[in-house]
Amino acid sequence: MEVRVDLRSDTVTKPSPEMRKAMYEAEVGDDVYRDDPTVNRLQEKAAEKLGKEAGLFVVSGTQGNLVSVLAQAQRGDEIILGDMCHIFNSEAGGVSVLGGVVMYPIKTDRHGVLSPEQIHAAVKPRDYHKPPTKLLCIENTHNNTSGQALTPADTQLMADAARAHGLRVHLDGARLFNAAVSQEIDVKELTAPVDTATFCLSKGLSCPIGSVLVGDADFIEEAGRWRKILGAGMRQVGVVAAAGLVALDSMIDRMADDHVNAKKLAEGIAELEGIALDPGEINTNLVRFGVPKGSGDTIAALMKEQGVYINGGDSDLRMVTHYGIDSEDIDFTLLAMRKVMSEVA
């Protein structure tokens, strides 16, 4: 059957007609000369929205995290981060490969939070046997804990613990607007406690490419140097940034629909035999659930035959709602899932 519903990720979203029009009409210039007015507008608007001095348009969330870490920690320095976070698990060790930065992972709780006690204990004393600890990295929403939205209070506690040791704090906010929308708060409440933050345009905001990194002006200057070292100084990239400007105006509030759809999906799936899922834990657009050990790939393959595309796995699967998914797609998915789980059982 042709795939009708693609729940692999919110990265599969396609630009809206309004974005395509803005891209077509975008005013452009050479961004390496800082001459692209559309990129400049996007960077300013993103920084203003997140309450920071300046912004830098980067290729991806991974690159935003990478240049942020490299601009704040030198070769031989250490960063503290959660053991389930994206930087540690899914960015191919880039900060170590390219920057010689040591990653020190600490146990993440089921909501994606690191306790102040763990942070205090992780910071190294001044001792030439140890790498100097420079930076704490946190993640909101937290992908591997089913998109848990960290609160401003969680964020402040973690940041205060880091600051007590003179560390800086970076927030990987690939889905930061999901976190703000789900709590009905201004995104600035989630960024005020941290020094630097990224968010992705290419996920729930539905742009084709890009992320924005924000922080103070000196930091952004240094991050721009690292972006150049990584070969990602871009030229007339206003054609892409134009979609980002549209997204910041028109794609944030609608994420509430993705959260409603995710909840409906979670509630339906949780009723099926063989599924481990507490729908009460789902508060943004990521729905992770347990399936019988070793059955994940089979379930994904059978779902595809039913017209629903999800990633495989062993005993942990994920479905992601987004701009391309409506309530009927959720009904369709639940029907397919019911059929597939009865076959697997």
Residues contributing to the site for ligand PLP (CB under 6 A): 60-62, 86, 139, 143, 172, 174, 200, 202, 211
Which of 108, 295 has the CB closer to ligand PLP? 108
Query: Residue 158 CB, nearest distance to ligand PLP (Å)?
Result: 16
Query: Residue 83 CB, nearest distance to ligand PLP (Å)?
Result: 14
Peptide bond into 141 cis (omega under 30): yes
Which of 118, 311 has the CB closer to ligand PLP? 311
Spatial neighbors of 323 by CB under 8 A, at least 6 apart, are 10, 13, 14, 16, 204, 206, 251, 254, 258
% helix / strand / coil in the chain, to the nearest 5?
45, 15, 40
The tokens of 17 are what?
A: 């007609």
Which of 174, 262 has the CB closer to ligand PLP? 174
Query: Residue 10 CB, nearest distance to ligand PLP (Å)?
Result: 8
Which of 247, 334 has the CB closer to ligand PLP? 247
Query: Residue 273 CB, nearest distance to ligand PLP (Å)?
Result: 30
49 φ, ψ (degrees, to nearest 5):
-60, -35
Which of 272, 286 has the CB closer to ligand PLP? 286
Closest residue to ligand PLP, based on beta-carbon distance: 61
Tokens 């997140």 locate to: 50
Which of 6, 30 has the CB closer to ligand PLP? 6
Q: Maximum distance among all alpha carbons in the chain?
A: 62
Nearest to 214 by CA among 71, 36, 30, 23: 71
Query: Residue 108 CB, nearest distance to ligand PLP (Å)?
Result: 12
Query: Residue 203 CB, nearest distance to ligand PLP (Å)?
Result: 7
132 φ, ψ (degrees, to nearest 5):
-65, 130
Spatial neighbors of 153 by CB under 8 A, at least 6 apart, are none
